[in-house]
Amino acid sequence: MPKLTITHHDRDSAGLTYVYPVISRRSGGLSIGVNLNPNHACNWRCVYCQVPDLVRGSAPAIDLFQLEDELTGLLADALHGDFYQRYELPEDQRVIRDIALSGNGEPTSCREFAAVAGIVGQVCAEFDLFGTIKLVLISNGSLMAKPAVQRGVAHWSELGGEVWFKLDRATADGIRRVNSVNLTPAAVLRHLEISARLCRTWLQSCWFAWDGAAPGADEQRAYLDLLAEIRQRDIPVGGVLLYGLARPSMQAEAPRLSALPPGWLEDFGGRIEAAGFAVKVSG
């Protein structure tokens, strides 16, 4: 049985298809992940992604009955079994912080996304978890204009959930370089506004060194300028989850990427706070 740590995020650690346990830096403890992309397919290809054999594409058809059984079983094990002892978790991590729709690709590319949100709600009700854990959708936000995705996000909001919306860079060149997609900052802002008006939304931003160099002043300024536009347009963003590299990338660019010094992230986090946003920094 592998020991769970912030650097060990093996989606197969529990031997299940859709559900897996991880220790999350951003959640601050045990997160129950729901992987809607077991085919390792995503419509983006972020250079820091730790998913091996990543391919372009969408989520496959999901066996909703199996997903419900796996989620119910893992929660029962964590709440009433010897889960924490088997995974050698310290006492301060022996609590479920959240259930996260995440995994090996973009979860909203799943055709059954809205139904999955409903299943998570049903299982949480069975275990009386509402008000004790968070429900998190980790998304690149690129599919927010789709009505089916909006229905799922709206239901996620009804359950008390929140969205962690990816915003790694705020220039077209930066987005292309880091996320491997041709997307303008204006398009990102449109998708963000849809998400934030449907459901409580935080930005999640990964910053790292490339060939030993920190992101340039132009990228930093563009990011802060985009935050200023978010405030000007009164888009209700909860804050920014600012984080660095803790696990090795599985993409071709991996040898060129490295973690920034903690002080760099703290300093940039201070500039984000000065722009009027709550910020949580994790190295």
Write down the pLDDT at residue 222: 98
In the numeric block, which tokens belong to residue 172? 């077209």
Percent of the chain with pLDDT over 70: 93
Write down the pLDDT at residue 13: 54
- Mean pLDDT, residues 84-105 taken together: 88
Q: What is the amino acid identity at position 141?
A: G
In the numeric block, which tokens belong to residue 209? 């060194």
Q: Which fold has domain 19-281?
A: TIM Barrel (3.20.20)
Distance CA 237, CA 195 (A): 9
Q: Which residues of 76-97 are buried (b: 16+ CB within 10 A; e: fewer)?
A: eebeeeebbeebebeeebeebb
pLDDT tens sequence across 129-145: 999 999 999 999 999 99
Write down the pLDDT at residue 102: 87
Percent of the chain with pLDDT over 90: 84
Instruction: Judge whether 102 and 134 are in contact, CB under 8 Å.
Output: no
- Residue 2 banded pLDDT, cuts 50, 70, 90: low
Distance CA 234, CA 266 (A): 26
Distance CA 6, CA 47 (A): 19
Write down the pLDDT at residue 11: 46
- Mean pLDDT, residues 150-157 taken together: 97
Write down the pLDDT at residue 229: 97
Mean per-residue pLDDT of the chain: 92
- Mean pLDDT, residues 142-155 taken together: 97
Write down the pLDDT at residue 246: 82
The pTM of the full predicted model, rounded to 2 decimals, is 0.92
Distance CA 143, CA 101 (A): 15
- Report the DSSP beta bridge partners of residue 209: 258
